[in-house]
Amino acid sequence: MCGRFAVTLPDDAMAKVFEAMPGNDLPHVPNYNVCPTNDVHVIRAEDGTRLLVSMRWGFLPHWYKAPNDGPLLINARAETIAEKPAFRAACRERRCLIPASGFYEWTKTEDGKRLPWYIAPVEGEVLAFAGVWQDWERDGQAFRTCAIVTTGANAEMSKVHHRMPVILDRRDWGLWLGEEGRGAATLMHAAPDGTLKLHRVDPRVNSNRAEGPELIEPLIEPI
């Protein structure tokens, strides 16, 4: 799964990397502790143009009567996304990229303590998560919402968790966005082994109120 991540690239640098036109009211960056229901940066394609826009992280199916009417859908499983009523139309018609500098995962000690890890690319400054998006409107409230597609873990990630985000290679961005015809389903797999690095970080990040660059710094274990 993916329940927390970091974004450190400035908006203009992000737009350049993804060859996208930046919109207004983009989320604040850097953000070292992006949490569910936060607004996040998203790249979507429209009429042959890539747009860098803001969306709420937490997919709202059209039948939800309120934002809290059902489970908070921050992830969509690659294995079932084409079948689940919440995601199947978005999987065909509304795919997007969700940029991240890295993401967090947790392991547990025998006494139940949650130990956070930060996972980042071995090369490059940004990861592109596969995502899906959905417009939702009810009783005067309107949100454009998204979820991150997840799959089984690769060798590095399996050390800390059995799931991970689908991370798309640059050459596959156009196919996922629908710019290059059919075949996006073939992209929903784990990133190749050796492309990610991970290290323990301070448990402060366990709080969704924590912030600052020190959250992603390697933890120096006490002697």
| Beta carbons within 8 Å of 134's beta carbon, 6+ residues apart | 59, 60, 61, 62, 90, 94, 144, 145, 146
Compute mean pLDDT per 10 residues along the chain, 223 residues long, and list them. 94 97 96 98 96 98 95 97 97 98 94 93 94 95 96 96 97 97 95 96 95 94 50
CATH of the structural domain 5-216, one choice from 3.30.420.40, 3.90.1680.10, 3.30.450.20, 3.40.50.300: 3.90.1680.10
The pLDDT of residue 1 is 74
Long-range CB contacts (< 8 A, 24+ apart) of 20-28? 20/50, 20/51, 20/52, 21/49, 21/50, 21/51, 21/52, 22/52, 23/51, 23/52, 23/53, 23/54, 25/54, 26/52, 26/53, 26/54, 27/54
* For the chain, domain boundaries: 5-216
Q: What percent of the chain has pLDDT over 90?
A: 92
AA identity, residue 9 = L
